[in-house]
Amino acid sequence: MLLILNTLFVQTTSSLRCHFDRQCICYNIIEVQYVNCSKINITTIPILPSTTNILNLNFNLIVLISNGSFKNLKHLLELDLSWNKLKRLELGSFTGLSNLQKLKLEHNNLSLKWKSFPLGVFGPLKSLRHLNAKYNDRDGFLACTNVITNLKQLEKLEIDVDESPDCPNIDKGFSNLTNLKSFRTGYCDFTYLSSYTFENMKYLQFIDISRCSISEVHDGSFQDQKQLKVLNISHINFDIYDISTIVENFRSTPIQKLIMTRTLRDTVSLAWDDFFNCLKQSGIKELQMGGNSFVYVIVKYPLPPTLEIFDLSYNNLNKFQFEMPNLMQLKLQNNGLGKFLASNRYSKQSSKRLEYVDLSFNVIHKLHFTIFHDHPKLKTINLSYNILTDISFDFSTLRSLEMLNLSHNKILAFSEESRNAISNIAKSSSLKIDLSKNNLQCGCNTFPFIQWMLENRYIFIGIDTYRCNWMNNSVITIFPLRPIVLQLEKECTSYTVLIACITSGIALSCVVLVGGLAYRYRWRLRYVYHMTRSKYKRYRPILDEGHYTYDAFISYSDEEQEFLLKDIIPNLEQKENLKLCIHQRDFLPGEDITQNITNAIHESKKTVCIITRSFLDSYYCMFEFNMARMESIYSRGGQNILFLIFLEQIRPSELPLVMLELVQKQSYIEYPNDEQGNVVFWDKIKETLIT
Ligand SMILES: *[C@@H]1O[C@H](CO)[C@@H](O)[C@H](O)[C@H]1NC(C)=O
Ligand SMILES: *[C@@H]1O[C@H](CO)[C@@H](O)[C@H](O)[C@H]1NC(C)=O
Ligand SMILES: *[C@@H]1O[C@H](CO)[C@@H](O)[C@H](O)[C@H]1NC(C)=O
Ligand SMILES: *[C@@H]1O[C@H](CO)[C@@H](O)[C@H](O)[C@H]1NC(C)=O
Ligand SMILES: *[C@@H]1O[C@H](CO)[C@@H](O)[C@H](O)[C@H]1NC(C)=O
Ligand SMILES: *[C@@H]1O[C@H](CO)[C@@H](O)[C@H](O)[C@H]1NC(C)=O
Ligand SMILES: *[C@@H]1O[C@H](CO)[C@@H](O)[C@H](O)[C@H]1NC(C)=O
Ligand SMILES: *[C@@H]1O[C@H](CO)[C@@H](O)[C@H](O)[C@H]1NC(C)=O
Ligand SMILES: *[C@@H]1O[C@H](CO)[C@@H](O)[C@H](O)[C@H]1NC(C)=O
């Protein structure tokens, strides 16, 4: 099989070999006869068929073109002799080439120094439109001789230039070349760039003087180029003043495309407002300003309304913001805009015609949410080679988006919002996304993303090369997606159940713990609650330390009302002049009962509890008892303010633990219920309450 293919190939190619020299290749495309004798180390020009139209002799070792070498090639249209060793042309070298339109002599050794160009050597080339003779002569003599003055048809000239004292104006001989539209330099050295430089080339539309060494720029160098469309001044070591001087010309001269790539090596800023002011009337459409050292470009005024393409790639930009009313392409790759664009937009207002934005290689970790808002025509966004981990920006408004290049980032997965936005756009446009070389995760937490990817796999370019981190940390290829989704589904259901169990387990223990704590500190909590409430709710006179409204708060169950009225009030209040707080009498009507209790306890020096079985059973009595306990602990520095009177015999086992503790501390007295004992009883109580 291989053998057959091989012989076939040899046959087809061998049939192309030219009969006059089997190293050359001859072929015919739509009546045009091509002869290609490139790179075969020939030193002389072969005898060629007179039907040849396009002849390629480049990359050979030809030194001399002798008289009459091409004299029978009257149908030749293009001749490429570039990259040879040409040192001499004879007067009759181009005899017969009356139809030649394009002649390339680039990269040879032709120089007037060794009289390479006899005067009139180009004479026979009556139809020549395009002459490329650049990279021959560092002294650039050809440009200032009469050798090419009669090439009236010439439209495009590429030539070496050296504005030396021997040749003051490069274009001395160009005044008859009224058809010349394009001028490009090879070796190039200008002492001055001035209004004389292009004086005689008034019809130029294209000027490329890139890589020239230019010592001085004078005013008005381009002011008479009323046809100018493109100016290439790349790779020149200009300073800002040179640029200002050049751009100043475009107040009166039209220009559509200005190329100044690596023109300003060490300049960090330009007078941007002036710069764009000069270009406002010029009709400028494209600005290439890459590879300079601009750091900061924020301008008050909008970009020129005609500007469509703006290239500021390969600078050091850390800030960039413009109003760009009609811009269509913005190229900002290879800058340092990451930090700025995290919280700012690059466009100040709506960019209604913007179609293409390149922000690759910018160390972007996050983009401002609204960065692409008001870009109704945006088709391509290149965010490759950044450090994005998700899509933080809103692109739900980008109805025309066709290409979102997110390759070489650190994206783990898309959030649900991003997924919905993408699905929505993809419905109405042919959106494609490049997600190659990211940190995609194939795990349970990204399962919805992987599943969504399967459903939308046609959106992703080169999806068969994507890789993701599997749950066990090994990296797998993501394609085909379906088995991955199935396996994730299997592994993650158990995982989901496990997560659910653990979560509810944790929640349950939290409830139990909080409940337990609340129960343990229930009295303290209630006390703090009521104290805080009373502080905010009621006006209370600030009591001096140790001064209380009441001497004692009597806590009793309603069944002991008789004992209260017949014994306590007469004995303590009437006889001893003590001030008691009795709930029936002293509580503020309208106030919450629990609040009243807390206030009463707080405003009384002591709290006396009349303990009976019904006291122990009463909710409010026990509330009063416990609140008094809390008061003694939290407001009275641990001083005991509780005093218990046992009206009935109660077994210790019937008492709550905290009450038993008080009994053990002797803070209680039993009611004797006989004449003599009562006297002692009331004395004891009085003593307790007064101290
Ligand atoms: C001519 O041949 C050279 C070398 O074989 C090749 O590189 C070049 O592409 C060919 N050019 C044309 C126009 O066929
Ligand atoms: C031409 O010469 C160079 C250098 O001597 C050699 O490398 C190359 O192979 C030669 N090409 C042909 C087609 O003979
Ligand atoms: C070139 O050759 C032609 C005849 O083939 C002759 O008439 C002419 O003088 C020669 N010119 C030079 C410069 O040798
Ligand atoms: C051009 O010709 C000169 C003089 O013969 C020679 O010194 C020089 O090396 C040649 N240059 C090239 C690039 O062949
Ligand atoms: C331009 O052409 C005219 C008429 O053909 C001629 O007189 C004049 O010398 C030419 N100028 C140059 C610089 O060759
Ligand atoms: C401008 O000049 C640079 C450097 O010579 C070159 O690489 C680029 O292709 C030129 N651009 C145009 C549009 O001619
Ligand atoms: C950015 O992405 C676009 C579209 O995918 C591509 O055409 C362009 O070459 C990329 N730019 C760079 C600098 O890689
Ligand atoms: C995305 O950008 C990268 C790097 O700039 C490039 O290599 C790739 O071709 C682009 N993808 C597409 C689909 O254009
Ligand atoms: C991780 O899981 C994949 C897929 O189940 C398996 O092919 C691979 O061998 C595992 N790697 C390790 C290190 O366990």
* Separation of alpha carbons 507 and 510, rounded Å: 5
Q: Whose CA is nearest to atom 2 of ligand 7?
A: 382
Please enumerate in sequence order all residues whose Cβ is within 8 A of that of 244, keeping only pairs 6 or more positions apart, or say none: 271, 274, 275
Which ligand is nearest to the Cα of residue 210, counting in written order?
6
* 529-568 pLDDT tens trace: 877 777 665 545 444 556 788 888 888 888 888 888 888 8
Q: Name the residue of 64, 65, 66, 67 whose CB sits within 8 Å of the most ligand 3 atoms, as the mutation to test its pocket.
A: 67
105 closest CA partner among 92, 114, 116, 96: 116
| List of E strands, 151-229 | 156-162, 182-193, 206-208, 213-217
pLDDT at 157 over 90: yes
| Spacing, Cα 143 to ligand 4 middle (Å) | 20
Decide yes or no: CATH 3.40.50.10140 for domain 550-690. Answer: yes
Looking at residue 320, its pLDDT comes to: 92
Average pLDDT value for residue range 254-266:
92
> Alpha-carbon distance 298 to 481, whole Å?
46
Identify the three-state secondary structure at position 111: coil
pLDDT of residue 168: 60
pLDDT digits over 161-192, tens only? Answer: 887 666 666 666 687 888 999 999 999 988 88
Atom of ligand 5 nearest to the CA of 172: 13
Q: Is 23 in the pocket of ligand 1 (CB under 6 A)?
A: no
Give 118-142 pLDDT, tens digit per residue.
Answer: 888 898 999 999 999 999 988 887 7
pLDDT above 90 as % of the chain:
45
pLDDT recorded at residue 369: 92
pLDDT band at residue 61 using 50, 70 and 90 as cut-offs: very high
The tens digit of pLDDT for each residue in 483-492 reads 999 988 888 8
**Tokens read off for 414:** 């898309």
Name the H helices within 201-298: 240-248, 272-279
**From CA 182, how far away is CA 565, in angstroms rounded?**
123
Average of pLDDT values for 16-44?
92
Using the predicted structure, report yes or no on whether residue 406 has a pLDDT greater than 50.
yes
Q: Which of 175-189, 342-356, 600-614 has the lowest mean pLDDT?
A: 600-614
Tokens linked to 26: 């001859």
Which listed ligand is nearest to 40 at the C-alpha?
Answer: 2
| CB-count exposure of residue 225 (10 Å: 0-12, 13-18, 19+) | buried
Mean pLDDT of 332-351: 92
Pocket of ligand 3 (CB under 6 A): 67-68, 90-92
Report the separation in Å between the CA atom of 109 and the middle of ligand 4, taken as the mean of its atom positions: 6
**Which residue is associated with the tokens 């029936």?**
584
Q: Which ligand is nearest to the Cα of residue 110, counting in written order? A: 4
What number is the average pLDDT over the span 437-465? 92
Least confident of 17-26, 87-96, 352-361, 608-617: 608-617
Poorest-pLDDT segment among 223-237, 277-291, 416-430: 416-430
Of the ligands numbered here, which is closest to the C-alpha atom of 329?
Answer: 7
Protein residue closest via CA to atom 7 of ligand 5: 176
How many A from CA of 159 to the centre of ligand 2?
A: 29
Give the closest residue (by CA) to ligand 5 atom 10: 176
pLDDT at 172: 67
CB-hemisphere CA count at 13 Å for 336?
A: 8
Average the pLDDT over 215-240 and give the result.
Answer: 92
Q: What is the average pLDDT across 584-610?
A: 83
Q: Is the pLDDT of residue 613 over 50?
A: yes
Question: ∠ CA 668-670-675 to the nearest 5 degrees?
Answer: 135
Question: How do residues 466-516 score in pLDDT, each as one tens digit?
Answer: 999 988 889 999 888 899 999 888 888 776 677 777 888 888 888 888 888
pLDDT digits (tens, 9 = 90+) for 201-219: 889 999 999 999 998 899 9
pLDDT of residue 604: 87
User: Distances in Å between the alpha carbon of 202 and those of 144, 173, 221, 223, 583?
Assistant: 17, 13, 12, 10, 113
Q: Is the CB of 158 under 6 A from ligand 6?
A: no
Dist. CA 554–CA 556, nearest whole Å: 6
Ligand lying nearest the CA atom of residue 107: 4
Q: What is the DSSP letter of 17?
A: B
Using the mean position of ligand 7's atoms as its centre, give its distance from the Cα of residue 236 in Å: 27
Q: Which residue has the higher pLDDT, 568 or 347?
A: 347
Ligand 3, atom 14, lies closest to the CA of: 67
Ligand 7 atom nearest the C-alpha of 333 is: 13
Using a cut of 0.85, tell me whether the model's pTM lies above it. no
| Exposed/middle/buried for residue 599 (C-beta within 10 Å: 0-12, 13-18, 19+) | buried
What angle in degrees, to the nearest 10, is found between the helix axes of 522-537 and 481-520? 80
Ligand 4 atom 1, closest CA: 109
Q: For the chain, what is the mean pLDDT?
A: 87
Question: What ligand has the least distance to the C-alpha of 84?
Answer: 4
> How far does the centroid of ligand 2 lie from the alpha carbon of residue 41, in Å?
6
Q: How far is the CA of 208 from the centre of ligand 6 (A)?
A: 7
Give residue 329 CA to ligand 1 midpoint distance, Å: 35
E-strand spans in 102-181? 102-104, 130-132, 156-162
Choose between 287 and 605: higher pLDDT.
287
Look up the CATH architecture of domain 13-185: Alpha-Beta Horseshoe (3.80)
pLDDT in tens, 62-73: 999 999 999 999
- Extended strands (E) in 386-474: 403-405, 432-434, 441-442, 460-461, 467-470
Ligand 5 pocket check for 171: Cβ under 6 Å:
no
Closest-lying ligand 2 atom to the alpha carbon of residue 41: 1
Confidence of residue 11 (pLDDT cuts 50, 70, 90): very low
CA-proximal residue: ligand 2, atom 7 (nearest): 41
Supply 394's token pair: 């809103």
Sign of the CA dihedral with 345 first, then 346, 347, and 348 last:
positive
Question: pLDDT-based confidence at 235, cuts 50/70/90?
Answer: very high
Q: What is the pLDDT of residue 537?
A: 58
Write down the pLDDT at residue 539: 46
Q: How many angstroms is it from 566 CA to the middle of ligand 7?
A: 102
Q: What is the mean pLDDT of residues 306-313?
A: 96
**Rounded to whole angstroms, how far apart are CA atoms 691 and 689?**
6
